[in-house]
């Protein structure tokens, strides 16, 4: 297929490269010149603008930072819905507010397009390896139409329900992830303060009731896992500001539905403090360092 891929950041770039590897023709666009150069170096076709990337596209995939970017790209006068013909498959992999996903999907349906909200989990490692988990909202027929593209980028593809459902699942998942990362960091800091080797402590917890994803593949303590961002200065990965955004979306949803999420609120406040201290671009596992400064 001829695919327009807009948003070639830490996640979008390797996802687009995996589509190339699957044999698709991918036209990519990003505001950052470095991202465009990296995409071209991987064999992709760079576009001079989002509008140019959309020309002749049979499917559009987007990976953008926040709700406002998705609304502007899809609903603007020169946006996706105005640029591509009716019947085009649209897949937004950004993590945004479920209400915004439903709004954009409704506008897409009105103009004769087929849309999925398909946020991802698995981090930059999963994006590079093509093992991402997709949480997909949309009509069943549209989901099946989009499945081959998602399978080129991921390993676990879940149809969560109607439009917006994928975003709801993602917001719940990332709220839990933020809580787990903060809790794991606290436990490690406590053990180290009492003379424990973080490698031993991590190994024991990994095989005990405290086991969780952060201990399995994303340990926040430097030197424990060679492949984790913590062992590389917390560079790249999933940024603090992105986690803060997702935790904010969770709190918005909690307020809208009257659902108590005290741990989610606390995690959001911790990441807010960390971001305001100037660490917003670091990987979210760097919350480990915030707990050190508080000690």
Domains within the chain, CATH numbers bracketed: 2-161 (3.40.50.720), 168-291 (1.10.1040.10)
Better-predicted residue by pLDDT, 295 or 237: 237
- Residues in contact with 141: Cβ distance below 8 Å, sequence separation at least 6, in sequence order: 114
pTM of the full structure: 0.89
Residue 170 is a catalytic residue? yes
What pLDDT digit, counting tens, does each position of 207-257 carry?
A: 999 999 999 999 999 999 999 999 999 998 889 999 999 999 999 999 999
SS3 244: helix
Q: Which of 103, 170, 245, 276 is catalytic?
A: 170
Band of pLDDT at residue 122, cut at 50, 70 and 90: confident
156-180 burial code (b ≥16 CB/10 A, e <16): ebbbbbebbbbbbbbbebbbbbbbb
Q: For residues 46 and 82, what is the distance between their CA atoms, to the nearest angstrom?
A: 21
Whole-angstrom distance, CA of residue 150 vs CA of residue 133:
9
Tokens representing 198 are 């973080």
Question: DSSP characters for 107-121?
Answer: HHHHTT-EEEE--EE
Predicted pLDDT at 135 = 97
**Between the CA atoms of 24, 27, 33 and 39, what dihedral angle is there, to the nearest 10 degrees?**
10
Q: Please list, in sequence order, all residues whose beta carbon lies within 8 angstroms of the beta carbon of residue 294, skipping any fewer than 6 positions away.
A: none
């Amino acid at each position: 297929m001829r695919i327009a891929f807009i948003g070639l950041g830490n996640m979008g770039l390797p996802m687009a490269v995996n589509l190339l590897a699957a044999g698709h023709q991918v036209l990519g666009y990003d505001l950052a010149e470095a991202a465009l150069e990296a995409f071209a170096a991987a064999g992709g076709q760079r576009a001079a603008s989002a509008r140019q990337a959309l020309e002749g596209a049979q499917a559009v995939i987007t990976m953008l930072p926040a709700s406002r970017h998705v609304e502007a790209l899809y609903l603007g006068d020169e946006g996706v819905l105005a640029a591509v013909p009716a019947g085009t498959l649209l897949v937004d992999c950004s993590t945004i507010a479920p209400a915004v996903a439903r709004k954009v999907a409704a506008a897409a349906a009105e103009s004769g397009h087929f849309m999925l909200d398909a946020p991802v989990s698995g981090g930059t490692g999963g994006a590079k390896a093509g093992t991402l988990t997709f949480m997909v909202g949309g009509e069943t027929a549209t989901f099946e139409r989009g499945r081959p593209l998602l399978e080129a980028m991921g390993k676990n593809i879940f149809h969560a329900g109607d439009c917006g459902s994928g975003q709801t699942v993602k917001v719940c998942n990332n709220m839990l992830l933020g809580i787990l990362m903060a809790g794991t960091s606290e436990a490690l800091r406590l053990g180290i303060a009492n003379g424990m080797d973080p490698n031993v402590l991590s190994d024991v917890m990994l095989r005990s009731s405290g086991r969780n994803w952060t201990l399995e593949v994303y340990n926040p303590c430097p030197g424990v896992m060679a492949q984790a961002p913590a062992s590389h200065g917390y560079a790249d990965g999933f940024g603090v500001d992105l986690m803060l955004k997702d935790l904010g979306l969770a709190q918005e949803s909690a307020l809208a539905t009257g659902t108590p999420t005290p741990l989610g609120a606390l995690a959001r406040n911790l990441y807010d403090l960390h971001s305001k201290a100037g660490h917003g671009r670091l990987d979210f596992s760097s919350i480990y360092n915030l707990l050190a400064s508080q000690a």
